[in-house]
Amino acid sequence: MWLGWNIVWLGALLIGLNGTVAWASDIQHHRYEELVRALFVVQSECPYITRIYSIGRSVEGRHLYVLEFSDNPGIHEAMEPEFKYVGNMHGNEVLGRELLIQLSQFLCEEYRAGNQRITRLIHDTRIHILPTMNPDGYEVAANQGPEFNGYLVGRGNSREVDLNRNFPDLNALMYYYEKTNDRNHHLPLPDNWEHQVELETLAVIKWMQNYNFVLSANLHGGAVVANYPFDKSRDPRIRGKTTYAATPDDKIFKKLARTYSYAHSWMHKGWNCGDFFDEGITNGASWYSLSKGMQDFNYLYTNCFEITLELSCDKFPPASALSREWLGNREALISFLEQVHHGIKGMVYDNNNNPIGNAEISVAGINHDVTTGVDGDYFRLLLPGTYTVTASASGYLPSTITVTVGPAEAIQLHFYLKVAPKDTNLTQSHHSKKNLFSAKVPLNLGPR
């Protein structure tokens, strides 16, 4: 309650009596205080569909504010998917930060104007927008300014730690498990992990634990390409050689990346920043191998599918370029968000119609499971096709259904599990944790 009232008070203070914001025709860079003010202006303009909350603080004490859009802010509605956008993970890669502020303003204005597409999106989705994961690094970069900002100035947090090399390395565990057909999802975290990551990383991991996110994008700069997992190569790093590292969901990740690339005004053309990426997309490890990154962590630890969007050749573009960048990315940001509504979704119940949390949903032929949330609902992104889907939970007999998925909205598929007889040995695929987290990895400071 104390935090809530302080957020409201701060919002009123920052908005003032006649709070207005700069729109697409007059976009400027936002320092931290200006960013917070912009978020609270949006919240004041659309109070019934927005909520502002903090997931924690940076090393220097700045709140990591999230702006939520929903027809019931602050409430998870069963079978309504959770989506997130994260910007400014690298403090000197600033375009994503500004695009997410603009997106927030756009969603609010279009909803108020009665735009049916935006209204439906907000009514059917719980959208979380974190404009800056690294506010301390941004302030360092902003002090240099767009004209003089160096390639690495402000990239890390105030301790100069690269936050996209700071998550627990679950890839090593996954690659080990692959050899024995062991656990393929929701991998365990290493001992004392909370003391091994930065405050900003800790806040984001706790955020992931508190919300059952389905789809996400992480906005970066320094290239123009939609990058998808895995970022870390399965093979030892060899100078001058890259190796494609496919997830079990490689096809859907390619589709997600293409959705953004082709809806973007120029990403899909391939030639940008002196590099060429066919269709404007790339597998992370095929580009260069990266350890302890956020998108791989999302896939291996949670139900969330995340891609990394590199959105500008210039990490800190001048304010004069922001309007063009916003118009080039606006449709892509909306189109990617809409992808959260594809595949299958549903509830898992027991035979008394009580929802079952943490049940596993497996799809034959795709070796990566998702789990139900605390309300018993699940979301499984899939391409169009026919699938054999199984729901299982400890103490229950599994249930299998064949379903055909179309290209439109997610198909609803509910499961009703019967209690297993006492002499039946049925358990979910929980496996012991192995200490594989001490391997040394080379530092890579590419755009991601």
Active site residue 310: yes
User: b vs e for 276-297, b when ≥16 Cβ sit within 10 Å of the residue's Cβ?
Assistant: ebebbbbbbbbbebbbbbbbbb
In terms of Cα–Cα distance, which of 38, 183, 162 is closest to 89? 162
Tokens of residue 162, six digits: 């690269």
Alpha carbons 253 and 286: distance in angstroms, whole number: 14
Phi, psi of 358 (to 5 degrees): 65, 25
Tokens of 76: 């998870």
What is the C-alpha to C-alpha distance for residues 107 and 119, in angstroms, rounded to an integer? 9
Q: Which of 45, 310, 325, 360 is catalytic?
A: 310
Q: Are 194 and 201 in contact (CB under 8 A)?
A: no
CB 285 within 8 A of CB 232: yes
State both tokens at 99: 């695009």
- b/e string for 98-135 if b means 16 or more Cβ within 10 A? bbbbbbbbbbbbbbeeeeeebbebbebbbbbbbbbbbb
Name the CA dihedral angle for 118, 120, 122, 126, rounded to a multiple of 10 degrees. Answer: -140
Instruction: Take residue 315 and report the two structure tokens written for it.
Output: 């990490």
- Upper half-sphere CA count for residue 132 (Cβ side, 13 Å): 33
Instruction: List residues with catalytic annotation.
Output: 310
